[in-house]
Amino acid sequence: MSKRIAVYPGSFDPMHNGHLDIIERCRPLFDEVVVAVLRNEGKKPLFSVEERIEAIREMVGPDVRVESFSGLLVDFMDQVGARAVVRGLRAVSDFEYEFQMALMNRRLNPRVETVFMMPREDYIYLSSRLVKEVFSLGGNLTGLVPEPVLARLRRRLRPQDPVVPA
Ligand code: PNS
Protein backbone atom coordinates (compact mmCIF):
# COMPACT_ATOMS: atom_id res chain seq x y z
CA MET A 1 0.00 0.00 0.00
CA SER A 2 1.31 3.47 -0.82
CA LYS A 3 2.21 5.87 1.98
CA ARG A 4 -0.50 8.24 3.14
CA ILE A 5 1.19 11.62 2.87
CA ALA A 6 -0.47 14.86 3.97
CA VAL A 7 0.63 18.39 3.21
CA TYR A 8 -0.08 21.12 5.75
CA PRO A 9 0.38 24.34 3.74
CA GLY A 10 0.40 27.93 4.90
CA SER A 11 2.25 31.17 5.32
CA PHE A 12 3.19 30.48 8.96
CA ASP A 13 4.49 34.04 9.44
CA PRO A 14 5.00 33.05 12.22
CA MET A 15 3.82 29.62 13.30
CA HIS A 16 1.82 29.71 16.56
CA ASN A 17 0.43 27.13 18.96
CA GLY A 18 -2.76 26.73 16.92
CA HIS A 19 -0.66 25.54 13.95
CA LEU A 20 1.39 23.22 16.17
CA ASP A 21 -1.80 21.78 17.61
CA ILE A 22 -3.04 20.91 14.10
CA ILE A 23 0.30 19.25 13.27
CA GLU A 24 0.10 17.13 16.44
CA ARG A 25 -3.47 16.12 15.63
CA CYS A 26 -2.76 15.06 12.04
CA ARG A 27 0.49 13.19 12.72
CA PRO A 28 -1.20 9.96 13.91
CA LEU A 29 -3.57 10.01 10.92
CA PHE A 30 -0.94 9.93 8.16
CA ASP A 31 2.30 8.07 7.49
CA GLU A 32 4.02 11.37 6.73
CA VAL A 33 3.19 15.02 7.26
CA VAL A 34 4.89 17.70 5.16
CA VAL A 35 4.62 21.28 6.40
CA ALA A 36 4.75 23.45 3.27
CA VAL A 37 5.64 27.12 3.66
CA LEU A 38 4.40 29.27 0.78
CA ARG A 39 7.01 31.43 -0.96
CA ASN A 40 5.06 34.58 -1.65
CA GLU A 41 7.19 37.70 -1.76
CA GLY A 42 4.08 39.76 -2.57
CA LYS A 43 2.82 39.30 1.00
CA LYS A 44 5.75 41.23 2.58
CA PRO A 45 6.27 38.75 5.41
CA LEU A 46 7.91 39.60 8.74
CA PHE A 47 10.14 36.51 8.55
CA SER A 48 11.87 35.13 5.48
CA VAL A 49 10.84 31.66 4.31
CA GLU A 50 14.21 30.34 5.52
CA GLU A 51 13.70 31.84 9.01
CA ARG A 52 10.22 30.34 9.20
CA ILE A 53 11.43 26.92 8.09
CA GLU A 54 14.28 26.99 10.62
CA ALA A 55 11.90 27.90 13.47
CA ILE A 56 9.32 25.27 12.43
CA ARG A 57 12.00 22.55 12.27
CA GLU A 58 13.04 23.40 15.84
CA MET A 59 9.44 22.96 16.97
CA VAL A 60 8.16 19.89 15.15
CA GLY A 61 10.96 17.36 15.46
CA PRO A 62 12.63 15.20 12.81
CA ASP A 63 9.64 13.08 11.77
CA VAL A 64 7.79 16.02 10.20
CA ARG A 65 9.19 17.30 6.89
CA VAL A 66 9.31 21.07 6.46
CA GLU A 67 9.69 22.49 2.95
CA SER A 68 8.89 25.59 0.98
CA PHE A 69 6.85 25.72 -2.17
CA SER A 70 5.87 28.22 -4.82
CA GLY A 71 3.31 27.93 -7.58
CA LEU A 72 0.26 25.74 -7.24
CA LEU A 73 -0.22 23.69 -4.10
CA VAL A 74 -1.54 20.75 -6.15
CA ASP A 75 1.72 20.68 -8.14
CA PHE A 76 3.76 20.59 -4.94
CA MET A 77 1.54 17.76 -3.69
CA ASP A 78 2.28 15.79 -6.85
CA GLN A 79 6.01 16.31 -6.28
CA VAL A 80 5.87 14.89 -2.75
CA GLY A 81 3.27 12.21 -3.54
CA ALA A 82 0.58 13.61 -1.24
CA ARG A 83 -3.18 13.33 -1.70
CA ALA A 84 -4.42 15.09 1.44
CA VAL A 85 -4.24 18.79 2.27
CA VAL A 86 -4.66 19.53 5.96
CA ARG A 87 -6.12 22.88 6.98
CA GLY A 88 -7.14 24.16 10.39
CA LEU A 89 -10.66 25.53 10.68
CA ARG A 90 -11.09 27.96 13.54
CA ALA A 91 -14.42 29.64 13.10
CA VAL A 92 -17.26 30.11 10.65
CA SER A 93 -15.38 33.11 9.28
CA ASP A 94 -12.64 30.79 7.97
CA PHE A 95 -15.13 28.63 6.16
CA GLU A 96 -15.78 30.52 2.94
CA TYR A 97 -12.11 31.03 2.08
CA GLU A 98 -11.27 27.43 2.96
CA PHE A 99 -14.25 26.07 1.04
CA GLN A 100 -13.20 27.99 -2.08
CA MET A 101 -9.61 26.76 -1.85
CA ALA A 102 -10.64 23.16 -1.20
CA LEU A 103 -12.97 23.08 -4.20
CA MET A 104 -10.48 24.84 -6.48
CA ASN A 105 -7.74 22.41 -5.47
CA ARG A 106 -10.09 19.49 -6.14
CA ARG A 107 -10.96 20.97 -9.52
CA LEU A 108 -7.26 21.33 -10.35
CA ASN A 109 -6.56 17.77 -9.24
CA PRO A 110 -9.55 15.52 -8.43
CA ARG A 111 -7.32 13.16 -6.42
CA VAL A 112 -6.65 15.86 -3.84
CA GLU A 113 -8.82 15.84 -0.72
CA THR A 114 -8.83 18.57 1.92
CA VAL A 115 -9.05 17.47 5.53
CA PHE A 116 -10.22 20.16 7.96
CA MET A 117 -9.18 19.91 11.56
CA MET A 118 -10.28 21.98 14.53
CA PRO A 119 -7.60 23.27 16.86
CA ARG A 120 -7.88 23.18 20.64
CA GLU A 121 -10.53 25.67 21.80
CA ASP A 122 -7.89 27.89 23.44
CA TYR A 123 -6.46 28.67 20.02
CA ILE A 124 -9.55 29.34 17.92
CA TYR A 125 -9.04 33.11 18.03
CA LEU A 126 -5.31 32.92 17.34
CA SER A 127 -3.78 34.14 14.08
CA SER A 128 -0.29 35.03 12.90
CA ARG A 129 -1.45 38.59 12.27
CA LEU A 130 -2.66 38.98 15.87
CA VAL A 131 0.53 37.43 17.24
CA LYS A 132 2.61 40.10 15.46
CA GLU A 133 0.29 42.91 16.50
CA VAL A 134 0.03 41.90 20.16
CA PHE A 135 3.79 41.34 20.43
CA SER A 136 4.63 44.69 18.84
CA LEU A 137 2.30 46.43 21.31
CA GLY A 138 3.89 44.73 24.31
CA GLY A 139 1.07 42.24 24.99
CA ASN A 140 1.57 38.91 26.73
CA LEU A 141 1.71 35.91 24.38
CA THR A 142 2.45 33.26 27.01
CA GLY A 143 0.90 29.95 26.04
CA LEU A 144 0.07 31.10 22.54
CA VAL A 145 3.42 31.11 20.78
CA PRO A 146 6.26 28.58 21.12
CA GLU A 147 9.62 29.74 22.46
CA PRO A 148 11.57 29.55 19.15
CA VAL A 149 9.05 31.99 17.64
CA LEU A 150 9.04 34.28 20.68
CA ALA A 151 12.84 34.45 20.53
CA ARG A 152 12.71 35.43 16.87
CA LEU A 153 9.98 38.00 17.50
CA ARG A 154 12.15 39.56 20.23
CA ARG A 155 15.07 39.79 17.82
CA ARG A 156 12.98 41.18 14.97
CA LEU A 157 10.41 43.43 16.64
CA ARG A 158 10.57 45.57 19.70
CA PRO A 159 7.28 46.33 21.43
CA GLN A 160 5.82 49.50 19.91
CA ASP A 161 7.33 48.77 16.47
CA PRO A 162 4.67 49.02 13.78
CA VAL A 163 3.39 45.63 12.65
CA VAL A 164 4.03 44.38 9.15
CA PRO A 165 0.61 43.50 7.74
CA ALA A 166 -0.09 39.73 7.35
O1 PNS B 1 -1.92 30.30 5.83
P2 PNS B 1 -2.49 30.85 4.57
O3 PNS B 1 -1.74 32.09 4.14
O4 PNS B 1 -3.97 31.08 4.66
O5 PNS B 1 -2.24 29.72 3.44
C6 PNS B 1 -2.74 29.88 2.15
C7 PNS B 1 -2.17 28.81 1.20
C8 PNS B 1 -0.66 28.80 1.23
C9 PNS B 1 -2.69 27.44 1.61
C10 PNS B 1 -2.70 29.14 -0.23
O11 PNS B 1 -2.47 30.48 -0.50
C12 PNS B 1 -2.07 28.31 -1.32
O13 PNS B 1 -2.24 27.12 -1.37
N14 PNS B 1 -1.29 28.98 -2.20
C15 PNS B 1 -0.62 28.33 -3.30
C16 PNS B 1 -1.15 28.79 -4.64
C17 PNS B 1 -2.33 27.95 -5.07
O18 PNS B 1 -2.25 26.74 -5.18
N19 PNS B 1 -3.46 28.61 -5.30
C20 PNS B 1 -4.70 27.97 -5.69
C21 PNS B 1 -5.32 27.27 -4.48
S22 PNS B 1 -6.96 27.63 -4.39
pLDDT digit string (tens) for 107-122?
Answer: 999 999 999 999 999 9
Q: Is the pLDDT of residue 157 over 90?
A: no
* Per-residue pLDDT tens over the stretch 34-87: 999 999 877 789 999 999 999 999 999 899 999 999 999 999 999 999 999 999
Do the bridges between strand 113-117 and strand 84-88 make them parallel or antiparallel, or are there none, so unpaired? parallel
Report the residue count for the chain: 166
Inside any domain, residue 109: yes
Inside any domain, residue 164: no
Section 146-151 average pLDDT = 95
Inside any domain, residue 46: yes
**pLDDT at position 23, please?**
98
Inside any domain, residue 39: yes
**pLDDT at position 115, please?**
98
Q: Is the pLDDT of residue 159 over 80?
A: no
Q: How far apart are CA 85 and CA 69, in angstroms?
A: 14
Inside any domain, residue 166: no
Share of residues in the chain with pLDDT > 70 (%): 95
In three-state secondary structure terms, 1 is: coil
**Cross-strand pairs, 114:** 85
Inside any domain, residue 162: no
Which of 73, 74, 94 for mutating ligand 1's site (highest number of atoms within 8 Å of CB)? 73
Catalytic residue among 128, 132, 136, 152: 128
With beta carbons less than 8 A apart as the criterion, state whether 149 and 55 touch: yes
Shortest-distance atom of ligand 1 to CA 97:
4
Q: Is the pLDDT of residue 17 over 90?
A: yes
In three-state secondary structure terms, 36 is: strand
Residues within 6 Å of ligand 1 by CB:
9-11, 38, 72-73, 101, 104-105
Provide the mean pLDDT of the chain. 93
Q: How far apart are CA 45 and CA 12, in angstroms?
A: 10
CATH of the domain at 49: 3.40.50.620
Residue 135 burial (10 A CB sphere; 0-12, 13-18, 19+): buried
Where in the sequence is the domain holding 70, given as residue range(s)? 5-157
With beta carbons less than 8 A apart as the criterion, state whether 35 and 66 touch: yes
Tell me how many domains the chain contains. Answer: 1
Catalytic residue among 52, 87, 90, 152: 90
